[in-house]
Each structure stands twice: as C-alpha cells, then as structure tokens.
Amino acid sequence: MLDRLRAIVGAGNVLAGADAASHSRDWTGSYTWSPLAVVRPGTTQEVAAVMRLAHEARVPVVPVGGNTGLVGGTKAPGQLMLSLERLNRIRALKPEARVVVAEAGVVLARLHDAAADHGLLLPLWFGARGSAMLGGALSTNAGGSNVLRYGSTRGLCLGLEVVLPDGRVLNLMQELHKDNSGYALKDLFIGAEGTLGLITAATMKLVPAPRAHATATLAAPSLAAALTLLNRLQEVTGGLVEAYEFMPGGYMDRLAQLRPDLGQPFAERHEVTILVELGATAPRDAEPRPDGAIPVVDLLEETLAAMMDEGAVLDAVVARTEAQRAAMWARREAAAELALTRGPLVDTDVCVPLDRVQDFLHRMPLRLAALDAGATDLTVAHLGDGNLHYTVFPSTATPELLDAIRSAIEDVVAELDGSFSAEHGIGLSKLASMRRRKDPLVLEMMQAVKSAFDPLNLMNPGKVLPQNPEETRP
C-alpha cells in the first residue's frame, strides 16, 4: 500500500511511523492516534489516484488541512490521512467578477493578502486564519467574526471541486450566483467534515475591502441595551457593522489574569463589554476630511455619545490608530488561549436567537451549579449572530460529569430554540449531542446521504453521524 502511494505522490510525500508524529494529535491535544500513513498529494489528479487506491484496498481516508479543528474531526487511528498542504495554488483571482478560485490547501491569510492586492476581501475571518486552510473552513462551514455582515462559509462559496470516495472527480466549479438546475450538491459537501468526499478546490466570493474601519470597545448596562445599540448602528450606517463581539465580565477577569500584557479597556469592571467594528467602502464614509477626521469613525463616536446620554452605553473608547484597533482585537482573539490553558473542560459553540442570549447566560449557571458546585465557566460570543463559545471547567474529569454538563447545556439551548453546534463542526466530540438532540428522521436522512456518496464508509468514518457510544470519547 505504501509503495503504491509513493508511486503516486513521490516517496517524500508519504509519511509513516515517526515521520507522521506531527499528524498524530489534534490542535487541542484532546485526541491522539497513530495513522497508517500521511499522504500529501500535489494535484487533484493525485488525490483521485490516492482515493482510487484506498477504495480498492478498503482503507479509510481522513482529510486534514491546517488541523486547527476543536472537535476531533481529524482523528485517524490506523487510517490514511490525506493532507491538503500541497494543494496550495490560487488558480485564478478575477477582480471584475469578484471571485477567487483556490485549492483547498491555501491558508486563509494568503487568500486575504491576495484579495487585498486588488482592493478586495474574502470575508472569512477568525483567529486561526494564519494556519487554517480553505478546505477545512469549507468542510466545517466555518463562521468567524464577520458572519453578521457577510454570512458563513457556505454563503461565500459559489463552486466546488470534490474527489469522491471512489476517486471520481465531481466538477461543481461554477462561478454563478444563480443556478436552479436541480439539487444543490455543492451545499452537501460544505459542513460535511470530509465524510462525503474530499474538497480539492473552491470558487469563493470576494467583496470590496473596507477603505476605513471604525472600531470601538464599549461597556453596556445589559445585553438588551447592547442589542439596541447594534440595531441603532445598523440603521444609522446602512448595515456597515462587520463585527459585534461580546466579552462578559468573567472573560475580562480571566484576560487580566492570564494576559495582563493585553491590558483592559476601562478602569472600571463591566459585565457587558462589546467590541464593535464598522467597515466603510464608500469614499463619502471613508475618505478623511480636511481636518483629518474619518466620517465613519465620527459617526460611530457620535452614535455612542448619544447612547451614553441615554444611558444605553456606560463607557466607550474609539480606536484612533491601527495599533489601538489591533489591541482591541487581540483581547477578543485571545479567547482560545484563555479557554485551553486549563483543564478539564467542556468546550461548546452554541447558537441561540439574538434576543435570548441573556436567557442562556442566566439559566446556564443555575444548571451548572446544580451539577457541580465547584465548576466555573467562561463565555465569549459573536453577539451579532447569537453564537456563544461557552466553556465549562468542571471540578473533576469523570466522563459521567462531563457528559452531564454537556447534556445540560444542550437542554438550555433546546429550551431557547437554539443549536448545540454553530461553527466548529461535529467531529467526534459532539456525536453524543447528535444522538440525543437531532430528530431521528433527520439522522436517517443524513445517513441516507452518507450511504449514497460513500457506501463503503471510507470517508472520515465515525465522524458527524453517531454510531456507537465509544466513538464520542477521546
């Protein structure tokens, strides 16, 4: 098997034994394994040849990109890992059509830089953009900070190239904004975490890059007031709000403890701290006036000042330099570091309606205290789309307690008509949640789709769809 793989991709691109050690754990360290081998094809044709060989030999295949996932989606014990790292070409960037055609192994930050050279933006933006790859973002339908304005990955993708489990290449690489000619097969692969086929390339939408940003950190008396401010900003700016990030008092406390170098925005502690950013593309909003003032920044400042007079904002600081803006974002993007520097933990990324975020934050501590009086929690949220990253640090690491906590979180989310998974995917860590919370008929239909594309269950087996209880554990 290994010799045949070497013949396809070259001896240096098949890693086994000790050479595969870097591909034997996930980013969080929660999952470890020993793969059969790691193969690194450099073209779609090589991917297809590898998939044909694996299909013939009945060897399971686990795709891996930047390996920045948080749910165990790349665990591959005794299985063949197919790395996207050499599929890293930007095939075309079309400024007039505002699309980029790129292979799945292109790191997001590189796409950002390439689009910026043409005054454009790929609005897929999150903390791991310096290592996360396009294929992984598509496979998990990644979100990030800009979903509020631009939508998640699925909404940004126009076309896909996918290698099916038997090695056939499915060409869905169109650049159309409208196509009603049958089933939208493209959308099945986005968010499927490599369980239906292997994404090798995609056509992605680009948008005009903001000519100016207006960024501020503010304190609000409540989440209800913060949502009022969000709606006011959307109205007065014509929808220019790109990010609206919520950092509760507990988050700011942990930030002060673990990253004092990042500083605190205010001398006084507040329960509701918001990072807001507007992005202006129109010259009338972005070009400096004779006195150097930038209209969109002035508009943000004026709106905040008016709401301070109304009592809807308690304090605010507006970034006047790029360094100040970067410092504000550094506090928000430290979230993963703050959550993963201690254990045990239960890490979730739930979503509830915007006006029910406060309900979640009220109910969940009560449920948690009833289960584990010694537990603590940490929250940070994309408030503009209702996505909370809610992490619990239980007092003990017994599997029964961890599962009970996760189940309690699911209960609260279900009561609020939310989802137990917003943007990180299912992988292994949420299989129990899928079993408990998804409608059995929905799971049946999902399994039917899986069986249609991958009847031998060779593509990332055991992920996304629940099978047996042991597969839910690290």
- 70-91 pLDDT, tens digit each: 889 999 999 999 999 999 999 9
What tokens were used for 355? 């006006």
Identify whether residues 76 and 14 lie together within a single domain. Answer: yes
CATH no. for residue 239? Answer: 3.30.70.2190
Identify whether residues 78 and 14 lie together within a single domain. Answer: yes
For residues 86 and 414, what is the distance between their CA atoms, to the nearest angstrom?
A: 42
Identify whether residues 118 and 69 lie together within a single domain. Answer: no
Average the pLDDT over 338-361 and give the result: 92
- In the Cβ-directed half-sphere of 418, how many Cα atoms lie within 13 Å? 26
Q: Is there a domain that residue 461 lies in?
A: no
For residues 119 and 325, what is the distance between their CA atoms, to the nearest angstrom?
A: 20
Identify whether residues 185 and 101 lie together within a single domain. Answer: yes
Which pLDDT band, with edges at 50, 70 and 90, does 67 fall under? confident
Query: What residue spans of 171-247 are helical by DSSP H?
Result: 185-189, 223-237
User: CA 125, 128, 131: angle at the middle one, nearest 5?
Assistant: 115
For residues 69 and 30, what is the distance between their CA atoms, to the nearest angstrom?
A: 11
Residue 191 structural domain: 90-208
Tally of structural domains, the chain: 3
56 Cβ contact list (under 8 Å, min separation 6) = none
Q: Is there a domain that residue 111 lies in?
A: yes
Q: Is there a domain that residue 56 lies in?
A: yes
Which pLDDT band, with edges at 50, 70 and 90, does 340 fall under? confident
CATH no. for residue 181? Answer: 3.30.465.10
For 249-308, write each residue's pLDDT tens digit. 999 999 999 999 999 999 999 999 999 999 999 999 999 999 999 999 999 999 999 999
Domain-terminating residue out of 83, 100, 123: 83
For residues 68 and 84, what is the distance between their CA atoms, to the nearest angstrom?
A: 13
Identify whether residues 273 and 261 lie together within a single domain. Answer: yes
Whether residue 82 contacts residue 62, with contact meaning beta carbons closer than 8 Å, is answered with: yes
Whether residue 152 contacts residue 171, with contact meaning beta carbons closer than 8 Å, is answered with: no
Whether residue 70 contacts residue 424, with contact meaning beta carbons closer than 8 Å, is answered with: yes
Which residue from 342, 471, 458, 363 is spatially nearest to 415, judged by alpha carbons?
363
Domain-terminating residue out of 28, 54, 83: 83
* Residue 472 reports pLDDT greater than 70: no
Identify whether residues 102 and 39 lie together within a single domain. Answer: no
Average the pLDDT over 166-191 and give the result: 96
Q: Is there a domain that residue 381 lies in?
A: no
What tokens were used for 299? 């508009």
Q: Is there a domain that residue 440 lies in?
A: no
Cis omega (within 30 of 0) on the bond before 265? no
Q: Which amino acid is at 222?
A: S
CATH no. for residue 17? Answer: 3.30.43.10
Identify whether residues 128 and 155 lie together within a single domain. Answer: yes
Identify whether residues 56 and 125 lie together within a single domain. Answer: no
For residues 466 and 474, what is the distance between their CA atoms, to the nearest angstrom?
A: 14
Whether residue 286 contacts residue 213, with contact meaning beta carbons closer than 8 Å, is answered with: no
* Residue 474 reports pLDDT greater than 80: no
Identify whether residues 266 and 321 lie together within a single domain. Answer: yes
For residues 352 and 325, what is the distance between their CA atoms, to the nearest angstrom?
A: 28
Identify whether residues 100 and 141 lie together within a single domain. Answer: yes
For 393-451, write each residue's pLDDT tens digit. 999 999 999 999 999 999 999 999 999 999 999 999 999 999 999 999 999 999 999 99
Identify whether residues 47 and 142 lie together within a single domain. Answer: no
Helical pair 357-371 and 223-237, crossing angle rounded to 10 deg: 150
Which pLDDT band, with edges at 50, 70 and 90, does 361 fall under? very high
Identify whether residues 59 and 96 lie together within a single domain. Answer: no
At 93, is the secondary structure helix, strand, or coil? Answer: strand
pLDDT for the residue 468: 59
| Residue 239 φ/ψ, nearest 5 degrees | 85, 30
Q: Is there a domain that residue 378 lies in?
A: no
Domain-terminating residue out of 48, 66, 83: 83
Q: Is there a domain that residue 101 lies in?
A: yes
Q: Is there a domain that residue 344 lies in?
A: no
